[in-house]
Amino acid sequence: MIENIKDIKPIYPTEPWKITEPAFKPENNYRNETVFVLSNGYIGMRGTFEEGYKLPKGLGMEGSFVNGFYESETIRYGETAYGFADKTQTMLNVANAKIIRLSVDGEEFSLFEGKLDEAKRVLDMKAGTLSRFVRWTSPKGKTVEIRSTRLVSLTNKYAAAIEYAVTPIDFDGEIVLISLIDGDVENNTKENNSRIDYGPYGRVVLPVDRRCEGAFSALRQKSKNTAIGIVTAMRNEIDFDAARENTDDEFTVSTRFAFKARRGKTYTLTKYITYVTTRDFPEEKLYDAAKTVLSDLSREGFAALAAAQKKYLDEFWENADIEIDGDDLLSQGLRWHEFALLQSPGRDGKTSLGAKGLSGEGYEGHVFWDTEMYVTPFFNFERPEIAKQILMFRYNTLDQARERARVLSVKRGCCFPWRTINGREASAFFLAGTCQFHINADIAYAVHQYVTATGDDGFLADYGAEILVETARFWVEFGEYIDYKGGKFCINGVTGPDEFAVLVNNNCYTNMMARENMKYAVEAVAFLKEKMPDKYAALAKKIDLADEEPAEWQRAIDNTYIPYDETRGIYPQDDSFLSKKRWDIENTPFSEFPLLDKHHPIVVYRHQVSKQADFVLAMFLLSRYFTREEMKRNFDFYETVSVHESSLSACIFSIVADAIGYHDVAYKYFMTTSRLDLDDYHANVNAGYHCANMAGTWMSMVFGFGGMRLDDGELSFAPVLPEKWNSYRFRLLWRGRLLEVKVDQTGAHYRLLRGDALTIKSNGQEITVE
């Protein structure tokens, strides 16, 4: 399957730190809107234009998002049943605050009229800005230059800004600038989710009121059913003389500047933007909060905001940057992935990271396991304070997960939702949703990795242990010792990561990860008991943790059933995987893919075919339990049955291929992941980022080529240098240290850039890095 994409050519010019759109082409616009997304984990703005075009379907999709601002509706099922998720959760398109309209002597600037001498945009990943340069001649022959710079602040959650400068080139005349907020917005959920047969339909962001006072203009709205209040506000500053005229109506607030402009002179409008919601402020303080944000921004000025942005990114790139000497294309791709990741997750513990970040409506803004299994590792090693907040979202939604476990007849512990914004289950197809119980273990794994990488025992004591215990409790009750399986601890009726095999018994990945989950719980409880007895006592009291519980978990750990086929030396993906009819992948015409789009689920489910890495993922995450030979045998087998119809697959195959010495194979898989979005391999980047793949690329570099593992809290590497590269380098934060790993023809080189000396393993050899 992965061969299909080998002929795809780079779309953007190869530049180390920039993504450039050299000229405006309508047919590329929808895609570029995603590539030029700016966001900060709270505010998300698609890379649409200041003119605020309402483009026909397929040419673009306006999108502004605020993490945690969502709508709910009743899910309607063809046939419903007890315990099915009852409410949708959909991240909403919020008011578009980017709009600045320009008129030149009565002619309105538009990319679709007049003559474009130039229309370039540049995403600068060091500056964290989207810049635009336009030279436009109006239908009547007047030429202007427009330069704008947009940023969504990485240092101020509530801040975004646009600097918009216009210069008449060949005329003196009247220029009108209208800066506005357009609150007349709707979601395109259905269009972006072909399998979802519900809303929100129509207008669900309802007008409340608005306030326009001098430079401050704001619109207050409310989501229809969830009743979250939101104020979208702007403050417009100009560096020239012009009358300011504010107008407003039900859905719009706008500020108009009209002035006589002189040829060759540049006129600059600076627009400060904020969104504040009742998730952070009381309803009655929303306007004040917005006003304060904007006053502060205006006082400090755009330059200061841009400087802070640059500084933040300098620090980020200082440790996060991956350099590949010998492949600029790849370097660019990796950087954009990291930039996009940095922009995406919520940092307030109340919100997390949807599968598409804040870049589009895809997957309704839902948080899946991708967040913990793919994205969190990146942050664990590059921005751990963000990783912590991602995990805090799970901690803060533990009550909803406990309630869900009760609905599933499990009396203790928690069951995290497969898809969610607010912590409740929103999956309307339980076979490939709720049944993916492995998410419990995935979250536990992420907690464990975070604590391992950071040494943040305080987090473990205050939050992590509670997650580990509650998830472990779920497993011991959900699973069962089955006589027919030699009294082993089995977990039946689950769906593993591979959504082509649903409701199976003993999914190997799930069982191994659940066992690991329970181990972490045993260890965490033992650790707290010994090292932080007060914390242990508090936890035990809070969640009614009995002294004998760890022994229950230990019994399950010691007896976990792991499906294994002795004859073939294969770990079957689940109890029945080897008993299924094999899908003839080679002879399936291209038109029959993706399989689930072209076949009834029953057809796919009863075949031996994997959508994505499942057991192969276990071989990466839990490589310590496998010999290299075992891994080889199983990799060989699973490669022949996998179709990689998920952006979560190739990166994992790449990592495991490296671990077993299949370096060419690893490189091949890596190449399909590293520029997946930037080169639009799946032809769907218009709908938004594939965050998991972006993080998967990083994992392929660090865990794959770098061969990093953290077993028993010990950092080890087994670096490999792909043939086509001269060298590569990445840096990692590890328990307060900054470590550089550089790999070139002469081998691996480790350098401690910050922090205390450290002993690591490199290809099995202990090395002390000082």
Binding residues (CB under 8 A) for a second copy: these are 75-85, 195-198, 407-409, 427-431, 433-435, 480, 482, 484-485, 490, 492-493, 502-503, 505, 575-576, 578-581, 596-603, 605-606
Question: What's the token pair of residue 34?
Answer: 């995603």
Q: Nearest distance from residue 194's CB to a second copy, in Å?
A: 8
HSE of 320 in the Cβ direction (CA atoms, 13 Å)? 27
User: Residue 388 class from Cβ within 10 Å (0-12 exposed, 13-18 middle, 19+ buried)?
Assistant: buried
Instruction: Give the separation between CA 453 and CA 450, rounded to whole angstroms.
Output: 5
Cβ proximity to a second copy, 239 vs 597, nearer residue: 597
265 alpha-carbon distance from chain centroid: 43
Task: Map residue 579 onto helix, strand or coil.
Answer: helix
Nearer to a second copy, 147 or 485 (CB): 485
113 catalytic per annotation: no
Residue 418 DSSP label: S
CB of 490 to a second copy, least distance (A): 7
CB 351 within 8 A of CB 393: yes
The CB-of-691 to a second copy minimum distance in angstroms stands at 21
Q: How many CB atoms lie within 10 A of CB 69?
A: 25
82 or 541, CB closer to a second copy? 82
Give the SS3 label for residue 686.
helix
Smallest Cα–Cα separation from 420: which of 412, 428, 408? 428
Q: Tell me whether residue 101 or residue 606 sits nearer to a second copy (CB atom).
A: 606
**Residues present in the chain in total:** 770
The nearest distance, CB 407 to a second copy, in angstroms, is 6
Of the pair 57, 581, the CB lying nearest a second copy is at 581
The burial class, CB within 10 Å (0-12 / 13-18 / 19+), for 73 is middle
Cβ distance 66 to 275 under 8 Å?
A: yes
Residues 119 and 137: their CA atoms lie apart, in Å, by 12
Q: Which residue number, 531 or 598, has a Cβ lying nearer to a second copy?
A: 598
Q: Tell the burial category of 350 from Cβ atoms under 10 Å away from its Cβ (0-12, 13-18, 19+).
A: middle
Query: Cα–Cα distance between 451 and 439 in angstroms, integer?
Result: 18
CA angle 284, 179, 257 (to 5 degrees): 115
546-555 CB contacts, 8 Å cutoff, 24+ apart: 549/469, 549/473, 549/525, 550/521, 550/522, 550/525, 550/526, 552/476, 553/472, 553/475, 553/476, 553/518, 553/519, 553/521, 553/522, 554/518, 554/522, 555/489
Sheet with 765-769: strands ordered across: 716-717, 758-762, 765-769
The residues near 553 (Cβ < 8 Å, ≥ 6 apart) are: 472, 475, 476, 518, 519, 521, 522
Asked whether the beta carbons of 424 and 404 are under 8 A apart, the reply is yes
Closer residue to a second copy, CB minimum distance, 210 or 607: 607
For a second copy, the closer of residues 242 and 407 by Cβ is: 407
Shortest approach of a second copy to residue 673 CB, angstroms?
27
Helices 384-396 and 438-454, axial angle in degrees (round to 10): 140
- C-beta of 582: minimal distance to a second copy in Å? 9
Whole-number Å distance between alpha carbons of 538 and 230: 37
* Distance between CA atoms of residues 141 and 139, nearest Å: 5
Please give the Cα distance from 416 to 113 (Å, whole number).
52
CB of 433 to a second copy, least distance (A): 8
- Whole-Å CA distances, 32 to 19, 38, 99, 346, 574: 10, 12, 18, 23, 41
CB of 238 to a second copy, least distance (A): 50
Q: In this structure, is the dihedral angle defined by the CA atoms of residues 627, 633, 634 and 635, taken in order, positive or negative? A: positive
- Nearest-approach distance from CB 570 to a second copy, in angstroms: 10
Q: Which amino acid is at 438?
A: H
Smaller CB separation from a second copy, 263 or 598: 598
Q: Identify the active-site residue in 338, 364, 466, 499.
A: 499
Residue 728 backbone phi and psi in degrees, to 5: -145, 165
**Of 18, 34, 19, which is closest to residue 680 (Cα–Cα)?**
34
Measured from the CB atom, is 42 or 478 closer to a second copy?
A: 478
Could you tell me the smallest distance in angstroms from the CB atom of residue 632 to a second copy? 21
3-state secondary structure labels for all residues of 430-472: HHHCCCCCHHHHHHHHHHHHHHHHHCCHHHHHHHHHHHHHHHH
Query: Nearest distance from residue 726's CB to a second copy, in Å?
Result: 47
Task: Report d(CA 181, CA 386) in Å as an integer.
Answer: 30
Closest separation between CB of residue 489 and a second copy, Å? 11
Integer Rg of the chain from CA: 27
Q: Are 707 and 654 in contact (CB under 8 A)?
A: no
CA dihedral over 397, 402, 403, 407, signed as positive or negative: positive
Q: Which CB sits closer to a second copy, 36 or 430?
A: 430
Least separation, in Å, of the C-beta of 498 and a second copy?
A: 15
Which residues are identified as catalytic? 499
